Amino acid sequence: MVRKAARSQASLRAANKALVLQTVQRWGGLTQVELAAATGLSPASVSTIVRDLFAAGVVETATTTRNGRRAQLVTVSRRLGLAVGIQFGQRHVHVQLSDFALHPIAEHVLPLPHDHQVDTGLDRATLLMADLLERVGASFEDVAGVGVAVPAPVEAGTSTLSIEGVMPGWAGVDIAQTLSKRIGRPVYVDNDANLGALAESVLGAGRDLRDVVYLRASYGTAVGVALAGAIHRGYAGIAGEIGHVLVDPQGRMCRCGNRGCLDTVVGGAALVESVRPVLGPLTLRDVVQRANEGDPACTRVVADAGAQIGGVLAVVSLVVNPQVVLVGGELAETGEVFLGPLRERIGRRVPANNVAPLQVLPAELGPRAEVMGAMLLALQATDVSVPAVLDLPVEVS
């Protein structure tokens, strides 16, 4: 009995430590008084927890002033090392370094060839990481973990793509193992929409909400589903791949092998193709930019895509019942051009409920959502932000 009681007390203490650490990570630096207010813990508990975290090397403290009084400022320790987030897109790779409080330290984006191969992608990412680390006077040894976002569904157990046709050059390769061998550090891989959802639900527009659907509308279309802070990936990592929902039975063939998928109508290639007879060859970035400048053809295809995706999101919303749909990806950069028709279509197809009307809002982290999510994945996986690492010796009285 004594042991059991001691254990549950210890797990409560570990949970409170994790809460304090996550709060420091979210806000950067906080005084102990601010930490007590933000966590709802008593000032005495916060003081004990901060002392334990400091002894474990997880946080650092410094004297500061708040409202003219001396106060202890608590920040995440730099000794924990660096986190790296990598996002592979259809045409680029984005690498960001941060400390364990997720303060960005350095970042860079490199273009990738169309239909890039896994070797090319991982080579460029490795060079970019080495370059950024050198720039800040660090090396791979200082990296605690690397998170990788890819624009395709990933089977978590093997870290391979679970629908191969969408990224043929990466098929059948254990991405985490291959990259980890090159750099000698632990690597964790997930789908980009899942990682965008993770970042937005922890650090972005969904941070105070429980159930969040994050739409990533880019070259491909997918959602990430964050329920009570955890990503719902499904058995093979395919949950949220709405780009392959059938919307046009007579439509074009999709890379996944089916006909008339949402991506064949609203994906980057389809939007570029739609405006080509009027405007000539453009990239998706051009279409987004011209829609923002009021070009009628680009505005029209982006708005139509918003409505079409909204129809599919209405079904997702009925299945998942989120509090909010957060809208990210390149198309979201057109603001209400895309968001307006999307919101209107969802509104018409999801019955109003009298508990909490579904909100449709822009995501907050912009083009960094996926790399931030990749870093969070690495932090969670390397156990720095979870109670396990903070399990200090249990005192059994």
Number of residues that bind Zn ion (CB under 5 A): 5
Query: Contacts with Zn ion in 252-311 (CB under 5 A)?
Result: 254, 256, 258, 261
Q: Which is nearer to Zn ion, 147 or 224 (CB)?
A: 224
The least CB distance from residue 164 to Zn ion, in Å, is: 12
**CA–CA dist 81, 140 (Å, integer):** 10
Closer of 267 and 322 to Zn ion (Cβ)? 267
Pick the binder of Zn ion from 233, 244, 290, 345 (CB under 5 A): 244
Nearer to Zn ion, 146 or 222 (CB): 222
Which stretch in 111-119, 146-154, 244-252, 292-300 sits in contact with Zn ion by CB under 5 A?
Answer: 244-252
Range in contact with Zn ion (rule: CB under 5 A) among 4-12, 46-54, 86-94, 238-246: 238-246
- Choices 26-34, 182-190, 243-251, 336-344 (CB under 5 A): range interacting with Zn ion: 243-251
CA of 127: how far to CAs of 81, 110, 118, 327, in Å?
Answer: 19, 11, 14, 32
Q: Tell me whether residue 166 or residue 202 sits nearer to Zn ion (CB atom).
A: 166
Minimum distance, C-beta of residue 193 to Zn ion, in the bound complex (Å): 15
Q: Which is nearer to Zn ion, 216 or 244 (CB)?
A: 244
Closest CA to 74 of 34, 23, 30: 30
Collapsing DSSP to helix, strand or coil, 21 comes out as helix
Pairing of strands 211-217, 221-227: antiparallel
Q: Residue 83: which residues within 8 A CB-CB, separation 6 or more? A: 97, 98, 99, 100, 102, 143, 144, 145, 146, 147, 375, 378, 379
Nearer to Zn ion, 261 or 384 (CB): 261
Minimum distance from residue 252 beta carbon to Zn ion (Å)? 10
Give bridge partners of residue 82 from the DSSP assignment. Answer: 99, 143
Sheet holding 82-88, edge to edge: 104-111, 92-99, 82-88, 143-150, 187-191
- Footprint of Zn ion (CB under 5 A): 244, 254, 256, 258, 261
